[in-house]
Amino acid sequence: MSMSRAVCRFVFTAMLVAVFAVPLSTCHAEQHRVETPAGLRKAVKEATPGDLIVIGGADWLNARVKISLTGTRERPITIRSDVMWSGESSFEIIGEHVVLDGFVFQEGGLSSGHVMKVRGSRCRVTRCIFENYNPEKPSTRYHWLSIFGHHQRVDHCRFSGQNHSGGTLVVWLAGEGEVGKHRIEGNHFLNRPRGDGNGFETIRIGTSEHSMKSAQCVVSSNLFENCDGEVELISNKSCGNVYEKNTIIGCEGALTLRHGNDCQVRDNLILGDGEENSGGIRVVGEGHQIAGNHIQGVGDRIEGAIALSAGVVNAKLHQHAQVRDVLVDRNTLIDNAGEEIVWGHGMGSHHRTLMPVDVRVTNTKRDGPPKMQRLRPADVGPEARPIVDE
């Protein structure tokens, strides 16, 4: 055999190996391009695992879409939106292994309900933008992104300019299938003006009624800037959640463990940035760990850097449970208004008479630069490089 024929045979064999080595999911994936809600519904009915549905054409005005869709772990179905959703548009999905990529909600608002509602399991909301999607009256209540089910993921989205009642991102745990275990990571939350009372949280996980449910959600590596909706910037109302590596700058509120037990607040960077109503971390309940956080220059919204709340005797689910068996370790507290650690925050109000018990405060530092990364806009949101899935 000549050398040239041998080389040709080798190349041909290598090409065959390469072709048949391609996973089946890429061989049979199809792309569906749609330009209307009706076209989207038709594509959803026709889609099979591994397919890509692209929403293109003109922007969508007053589109109310509700779909069901199922992919697989190896071959998720992706819906990518290249248009703006405006007016009274909203989107709801009951799905499994579905990726929602690039949805943009602007120049509109609702009268009630949810801008985007995700039910089911193992879906991903990524590179989406919710911006100034507000009603005429700030008292009008609805939520921007509501997550139900289990093992959902929200990453590299931007939430900006919400000025009305309702949560920006809410995890719901009411039903039997709402077991949590969601991940909220790499998102940018910004520019939420102060609201009129409660119900203006940026993130809420759970409700008072279901606060003893173990949610096991992870809120990691998000950036919060000028989120002033209410005193509970983040409102934890369930058990077993982790809040880690987040950067909070100039927010009129605190990372608040309002209800629930056994949560971890670790390695977060909280900077007051000159905002006199900014806050640090507020603790209610049992078994929490507050460790490795850097809190600097925060105001007196919660009377100090870390507030351990006073509790109610035989507290009901909506009341303040006694702080018990909490570890406060390796936190750096610098130039904060009020006390470093507030013992019995809110004592005497709303029947709160119980001081915290079995609380260990160890290794507090009072100087030094932050050891964790200070996240900046380029590090999070749609423009940042998405996290590579394992």
Quick one: pLDDT at residue 386? 63
Q: Is 12 left (phi over 0), alpha (psi -120 to 50) or beta?
A: alpha
- Which amino acid, one-letter code, is at 127? R
- Predicted local confidence at residue 29, as pLDDT: 84
How does pLDDT run across 59-98, given as a tens digit for each residue? 999 999 999 999 999 999 999 999 999 999 999 999 999 9
Homologous superfamily (CATH) of 148-379 is Single-stranded right-handed beta-helix, Pectin lyase-like (2.160.20.10)
User: Tens digits of per-residue pLDDT, 163-218?
Assistant: 999 999 999 998 877 889 999 999 999 999 999 999 999 999 999 999 999 999 99
- pLDDT at position 4 over 80: no
104 backbone φψ class: left, alpha, beta (φ>0; ψ -120 to 50)? beta
Question: Using CB atoms within 10 A of its CB, is residue 5 exposed (0-12), middle (13-18) or buried (19+)?
Answer: exposed
Q: How far apart are CA 230 and CA 132, in angstroms?
A: 18
DSSP character string of 177-238: T--B--EEES-EEEEE---SSSS--SEEEE-STTTTSB---EEES-EEEEE-SSSEEEEEES
Specify the pTM: 0.91
Q: How buried is 158 (Cβ within 10 angstroms: 0-12 exposed, 13-18 middle, 19+ buried)?
A: buried
Which helix (H) or strand (E) element contains residue 146? strand 143-147
Which of 25-29, 50-54, 66-70, 107-111 has the least mean pLDDT?
25-29
What is the mean pLDDT of the segment spanning 289-296? 99
Query: Could you give the percent of the chain with pLDDT greater than 90?
Result: 89
